[in-house]
Amino acid sequence: MRLHLIGGALLALVASCGGGETAEQGTGSSKTMVVGFAQLGAESNWRTAETRSVQDEAQRRGVELKFADAQGQQENQIRALKGFVGMNVGAILLAPKTETGWDNVLADVRKKNIPVVLLDRGVKVADESLYTTLIASDFVEEGRKAATWLVGATGGKCRLVELQGTVGSAPAIDRQKGFLEVLAQHPGMEVILSQTAEFGLAKGKEVMEAFLKAKPKEIQAVYAHNDDMALGAIQALEAAGLKPGVDVLVVSIDGGKPAFEAMAAGKLNCVVECSPLLGPLAFDALERLQRGETLPKRIVVEDRVFTAAEAAAELPNRKY
Query: Quick check: is 4 in a domain?
Result: no
- Indicate if the pLDDT at residue 5 is higher than 70: no
Mean pLDDT for the chain overall: 91
| Residue 146, burial from CB neighbour count under 10 angstroms (0-12, 13-18, 19+) | buried
Of 114, 122, 120, 170, nearest in space to 286 by CA? 114
Domain count, the chain: 2
Q: Which amino acid is at 129?
A: S
My answer on whether 103 and 154 are in the same domain is no
Q: Which domain holds residue 120?
A: 9-135+276-299
My answer on whether 147 and 263 are in the same domain is yes
My answer on whether 125 and 52 are in the same domain is yes
- Indicate if the pLDDT at residue 283 is higher than 80: yes
Q: Which amino acid is at 170?
A: A
Determine the Cα–Cα distance for residues 123 and 319; give it in Å rounded to an integer. 28
Q: Which helix (H) or strand (E) holds 313?
A: helix 308-314
My answer on whether 65 and 52 are in the same domain is yes
Q: Which helix (H) or strand (E) holds 93?
A: strand 91-94
Query: Quick check: is 66 in a domain?
Result: yes
Q: Checking DSSP bridges between strand 31-32 and strand 23-24, what pairing results, if any?
A: antiparallel
pTM passes above 0.85: no
Task: Read off the pLDDT of each residue in 22-48 and give the average, rounded to a whole number.
Answer: 72
Query: Quick check: is 2 in a domain?
Result: no
Query: Confidence band (pLDDT; 50, 70, 90) for 15?
Result: very low
CB atoms near residue 226 (< 10 Å):
33
- CATH number for 150: 3.40.50.2300
Query: Quick check: is 1 in a domain?
Result: no
